[in-house]
Structure 1
Amino acid sequence: MGSALADDAATMPLEVLGRQMNVVGGSTEAPWPKNVGLLFFNEAPDRFFPYTQIDVVWFPEGAGGDRFEEKIFKGPLARMTREALGYIQRNFLTETVQKHPDRAEATRAWNFPYVAIEEALVNAVYHRAYEEREPIEVRISREELVILSFPGPDRSIRLEDFEAGRAVSRRYRNRRIGEFLKELDLTEGRSTGVPKILKAMAVNGSPAPLFETDEDRAAYVIRLPVHPLARVEEGTTADASGEVTTEVTTEVTTEVTTEVQRLVAAFRGSEEFTRQELQDVLALKNAEHFRKAYLLPALAIGLVEMTLPDMPRSSKQRYRLTSKASQWLDKDR
């Protein structure tokens, strides 16, 4: 990050480097790592601070349903945070495109804006009390994305300001952690997190986020409601007047593109394939390009279907041709 220390780090003794970075304390005869050093530069900080982890939980049937999928992220704070954010971005964020009959420009909206999630999750990592034996939890459903951490905000923040999203702390629980997160471009460290979350949700056209705590400040909850366009059932969406229309798709068109034709041709008879198997058959290395240019359009126009439509992110998910695809192939011959 432009640090002069980085140029000399490779040749410096480890203890000297640690003292320069202020992550090592104690006397020369008995040096010891500081807590911030264990959290950022140790492969298993949870050995020293139990439950230093981020749990990402997906509820396909809602929080009250019987099924959920969980992935746990551990390791140095910065890496753990980035890996959790990348996982959420790859697996749970979708952009919806709403076309309008009266103008060329379409409305585009994410189910949850990434900037708001990043700010909320980094804020939880920054302000978590690491003596607490509770993980940071990200709970995702079709209705909202919730980030829960312990404890709540400092008592210097008035409860009414907190509930209104005007939380400005006068004290920082983990100032040294904040300094490292700032150096890694993960936070600004000036109580700008809440305003950035509010702005990101507003720019995306999402409902306002909700910030929750209690009088005892036992926990901190940030709720990001899903964008209204993403609430509509697969294959249909709501137009500007609230009526259901089929003009909205997720980054796709109704055209049978060359890519869709290649994907359909990759199926042999009634065989079923995993996403990775289809990508390999087509010799495509970029998973995101395959998803956006091939798989999503084929699903949207009904030529390909999921074998487990109620569990779109299941590890057992496979894809097959529909009867519509068979008719289209016969017509195309």
Structure 2
Amino acid sequence: MNPVRIFISSVQKEFADERAALRDYLRGDALMRRFFEVFLFEELPAADRRTDVAYLDEVRRCDIYVGLFGNDYGYENTGGLSPTEREFDLATAEGKYRLIYVRGTDDAARHPKMRALVRRAEGGLIRKRFNTPSELVAGLYAALVEYLEEKQLIRSSPFDAAPCMKATLDDLDPERMAWFIRTARATRRFPIAPDASPHDLLEHLNLLDDGRVTNAAALLFGKQPQRFLISSEIKCAHFHGTEVAKPIPSYQVYKGTVFDLVDAAVDFVLSKIALSVGTREAGPQAPVRYEIPKEVVAEAIVNAVAHRDYTSNGSVQVMLFSDRLEIWNPGILPPSLTLEKLRQAHGSVPANPLLAEPMYLAGYIERMGTGTRDMIRHCTEAGLPEPEFAVSDGFRTIIRRTLAPGQTPQPESQPESLEARVLVLLSVAPRSKAELSRGLGQKEISGQLNKVVRQLLADQMLEYTIPEKPGSRHQKYRLTEKGRATAAKHGSGGDTP
């Protein structure tokens, strides 16, 4: 965004210290520097034009006029007006955002024309009095923060509750919202009717702000969320060693809704860690075991997506090394939580509450603050070290890799046939064609995958999860009994179940 230009108007000699203090503060403070650009006439380079024309041009260019009124009136032109009064009059005529600060309380000591200007200013403006440069700086800071909030450049409410600039209801996917209603009703007994309109769903979830689409709505249901929130993506990388090094064997950048991001990143990791498939002695479904429990991988990635700072330009990063899995997100712990408390029973303090609630309703997260403790428990049960949590330039989760007995690393080349790999992926959970493609861990030729899926359907190894809608975008495939038996052979190295 273009900086907000501030013009400081005053008698320069009388307010030399205050002008310098405001300049230094506005240029030195991180928040002020990010949004504002201050103009001081004394810093204007020499130019072949009249000074009165130059400063009035700057008033026209500014967004905010700051007037410092004291005792002196200043040099008067032939019409009897000082530069300060002419600047104030022009700012008023131009409809500029005006902030007036009056030094001292003794109006009797002021020049008569300055007294008249103060009275005129206070007739239509809220003005503040000050005595010292520090009081002036504090007063202007508060006023500028209020300005940023009014313009919705910053917000005291959560980011996810703010309106998503330029996004409309047409930018949301009705099919994705229909999927959400079906899933939430089945998972959490969501009370909205299956045929509810998109507007009714968004109203129920508090995802509209005066009829406008919020950031949370765009992240959850947007057709292309990254059009509006460019950093809302996940970068996944797989390294053979223990350090970041090029060339990167596998690197993917995933885009889409938060549900798409989580599914894609989890599939990326699961496709590259050790997998064992047991026998069906205990039931019809052959048990599948990953070297890092799927629940741990999913929880770490969901946390990164749900609790990140979406005002940051950084993206969630998922990095798989030979000895560990690292998930990083641009975010910090809320003040009420510490790294130690993450390992204890603690309340749920979502950074993005309107984003977290639908993810809970869809079964992606819990809302009782149990996620990190569940990760610790699952890692311990799998014979892994407890996850590590760290806060530095963001929030980082580190999960160590230690192979359990009987497990072997997933071959990097994945020499098995495409058919076998599809079956093994589906043995974990039903997947759409897009999810299968992502889970394979490489760019498969679309025609190849389509051919394999058609053949597996014909061989009665796969079936549709929604038989009545085979062409739906969100249609998924699952294994039949015959498919589960074949997948178990591939996943367990050829042992017959």
Shared fold per TM-score greater than 0.5: yes
Partner residue in 1 for 2:489? 293
Task: Report how far residue 228 of structure 1 moved.
Answer: 4.1
Partner residue in 2 for 1:175? 353
Equivalent pair of 2:348/2:367 in contact (CA under 8 Å): no
CA gap of 1:95–1:248, structure 2 versus 1, over 3 A, is: closer
Q: Report the structure, 1 or 2, having the larger helix content.
A: 2
With normalisation by structure 1, the TM-score equals 0.61
Equivalent pair of 2:277/2:491 in contact (CA under 8 Å): no
Partner residue in 2 for 1:25? 209
Equivalent pair of 1:109/1:227 in contact (CA under 8 Å): no
Partner residue in 1 for 2:259? 78
Partner residue in 2 for 1:198? 376
1:209 maps to amino acid: P
Provide the rounded CA distance (Å) in 2 between the counterparts of 1:117 and 1:226.
12
Provide the rounded CA distance (Å) in 2 between the counterparts of 1:224 and 1:73.
22
1:95-244 alignment runs, 5 A limit: 95=275, 110-162=290-342, 165-166=343-344, 168-169=346-347, 171-214=349-392, 218-229=393-404
Provide the rounded CA distance (Å) in 1 between the counterparts of 2:348 and 2:199.
34
3-state SS of the aligned residue for 1:72?
strand
Partner residue in 1 for 2:180? none
Which of these residues, 48, 57, 79, is aligned with residue 228 of structure 2?
Answer: 48
Task: Report how far residue 220 of structure 1 moved.
Answer: 0.7
- In structure 1, list runs of 5 or more residues that go unmatched: 99-107, 230-238, 240-246, 252-262, 264-273, 301-333
Q: Please, what is the CA RMSD of the aligned residues?
A: 3.6
Task: Report how far residue 57 of structure 1 moved.
Answer: 0.5
Provide the rounded CA distance (Å) in 1 between the counterparts of 2:329 and 2:315.
7
Task: Report how far residue 18 of structure 1 moved.
Answer: 3.0
Provide the rounded CA distance (Å) in 2 between the counterparts of 1:170 and 1:15.
28
Equivalent pair of 1:61/1:67 in contact (CA under 8 Å): no
Provide the rounded CA distance (Å) in 1 between the counterparts of 2:401 and 2:329.
20
Mean Cα deviation higher: 166-175 or 193-202: 166-175
3-state SS of the aligned residue for 1:145?
strand
Task: Report how far residue 177 of structure 1 moved.
Answer: 1.2
CA gap of 1:6–1:87, structure 2 versus 1, over 3 A, is: farther
Query: Deviation per CA, 1:205-254, whole angstroms, max 9, x where unpaired?
Result: 1122111114xxx411111100144xxxxxxxxx7xxxxxxx86579xxx
CA gap of 1:297–1:134, structure 2 versus 1, over 3 A, is: same
Equivalent pair of 1:96/1:250 in contact (CA under 8 Å): no
Larger Rg computed on CA atoms: 2
CA gap of 1:293–1:171, structure 2 versus 1, over 3 A, is: closer
Provide the rounded CA distance (Å) in 2 between the counterparts of 1:125 and 1:113.
19
Provide the rounded CA distance (Å) in 1 between the counterparts of 2:230 and 2:310.
8
Percent of aligned positions that are identical? 19
Query: Deviation per CA, 1:124-146, whole angstroms, max 9, x where unpaired?
Result: 11111111111111100110011
Equivalent pair of 1:110/1:204 in contact (CA under 8 Å): no
CA gap of 1:17–1:166, structure 2 versus 1, over 3 A, is: closer
Provide the rounded CA distance (Å) in 1 between the counterparts of 2:192 and 2:491.
47
Provide the rounded CA distance (Å) in 2 between the counterparts of 1:182 and 1:60.
35
Partner residue in 2 for 1:306? none
3-state SS of the aligned residue for 2:493?
helix
Equivalent pair of 1:109/1:204 in contact (CA under 8 Å): no
Equivalent pair of 1:63/1:141 in contact (CA under 8 Å): yes
2:394 maps to amino acid: A
With normalisation by structure 2, the TM-score equals 0.42
- In structure 2, list runs of 5 or more residues that go unmatched: 1-183, 279-287, 411-419, 421-443, 463-478
Partner residue in 2 for 1:8? 195
Equivalent pair of 2:205/2:354 in contact (CA under 8 Å): no
1:8 maps to amino acid: D
CA gap of 1:144–1:47, structure 2 versus 1, over 3 A, is: same
Task: Report how far residue 161 of structure 1 moved.
Answer: 3.5
Task: Report how far residue 292 of structure 1 moved.
Answer: 5.7
3-state SS of the aligned residue for 2:328?
strand
Query: Deviation per CA, 1:258-277, whole angstroms, max 9, x where unpaired?
Result: xxxxx9xxxxxxxxxx9x79
3-state SS of the aligned residue for 1:7?
coil
Query: Deviation per CA, 1:192-212, whole angstroms, max 9, x where unpaired?
Result: 111010011011111221111
Mean Cα deviation higher: 138-147 or 166-175: 166-175
2:399 maps to amino acid: L
Higher RCO (CA 8 Å, separation ≥ 6 residues)? 1
Query: Deviation per CA, 1:59-118, whole angstroms, max 9, x where unpaired?
Result: 0233243321211111111122122212322x12323699xxxxxxxxx96321111111
Query: Deviation per CA, 1:132-174, whole angstroms, max 9, x where unpaired?
Result: 1111111001100111011121122134445xx3373563311
